[in-house]
Amino acid sequence: MFFFDFSGKQKRGAMISFGGFYLFGIPIAAFLMFYVRIDIYGFWIGIIAAETVTNALLFTLVQRFNWERHAQAAQIRIAFNPKNATTNIAIVSIPNEKPEEIEKDLPIATDESSWRKSIGIKSFVLFLCVCFLITGIITSILIPL
């Protein structure tokens, strides 16, 4: 899937992966694990099926790429020179300010409130992961096989 990252098609690759795993693989794995009752084998069959579908869709998308257009876009990105820019390339202009003035306007991310907010978010995510782990352990103990 790295090819989609380098060609600027991250959204397509992410949507294919999401669809392949969350909309296809996990339901198959759940069905095989809980209704057919083949336990961990059903999980692995679902993951393998999701990977197969995802790879097939990604392969199809790669085959449909316009390779000449992507090669031209890469050449433009490599040889970009702002002085010789054409109308096909967007140029972001920065007002004529001194570097000191620009740095004063930027928010500093090391202040106390942003540091505490970051730690709070990470602690909350860790708490959720531990809750999911405990829920999975309790569920596996309570559900008879």
The pLDDT score that the predictor gives to residue 52 is 92
Query: CA neighbours within 13 Å on the CB side: how many for 2?
Result: 0
The pLDDT score that the predictor gives to residue 5 is 56
Quick one: 32 exposed, middle or buried, by C-beta within 10 A (0-12, 13-18, 19+)?
A: buried
Q: For the beta carbon of residue 4, count every other beta carbon within 10 angstroms.
A: 19
Distance CA(26)–CA(65), nearest Å, equals 29
The pLDDT score that the predictor gives to residue 92 is 38
Per-residue pLDDT of the chain (145 residues; tens, 9 = 90+): 555 556 667 788 889 989 999 999 999 999 999 989 888 888 999 999 999 999 999 888 888 878 787 777 777 777 765 565 555 544 433 444 444 444 444 444 555 677 777 788 888 888 888 888 888 888 878 876 6
Q: Which phi-psi region, left, alpha or beta, contains residue 95 (left: φ > 0; alpha: ψ -120 to 50)? A: beta
Structure tokens at 88: 């096909």
